[in-house]
Amino acid sequence: SAAIANRVKELAAEIAADYADTPLLMVGILTGAAQFMMDLLSALPEAASNRVDYDFIGVASYAGLESTGQVSITLETTVDLHDRHVLVVDGIVDSGLTLQRVLEHVGDQSPLSVKTCVLLDKPSRRQHTIGLDYAGFEIEDAFVVGYGLDADQRGRSLRYIGVLEDSTTDG
């Protein structure tokens, strides 16, 4: 949607300005962040794109539509994170469990700095305090799909973000 595209451009401009002369490694959390991160990379000004590399990290935390409460790393980054400025990119943060686990894992590899960028922030579900450096949109407590986000592997390729019917979790 146009709203997503505009917000991605704004985030790309902020990131480019903040890392003006600094090489950056974006690490996307698979699979939900893939589309967002690719659009974010495409939206970077050309001068900034020459200083940005990217990689992915795989995690598992859901069984169907329910979080298991456990996050396991299923795919390691291939790029060495040591002495790099790292921006961890995710599609959505709700409880914060996945992002917290990834930040700990990245931090264990001695990067120079670590920041976060998420498309959707769902603070009403937060169980772990996470500082978000860049956030696209704050959303209410609903299960969303599209633009890389899925419901049990469905809906990920929608070009917009929609709310799964009967998905509110507050009863």
Q: Annotated catalytic sites, by residue?
A: 94
| 31-70 per-residue burial string, b: 16 or more CB within 10 A, e: under 16 | bbbbbbbebbbebbeeebeebbebbbbebebeeeeebeee
Contact between 83 and 110 under an 8 Å Cβ cutoff? The reply is yes
Q: How far apart are CA 136 and CA 110, in angstroms?
A: 27
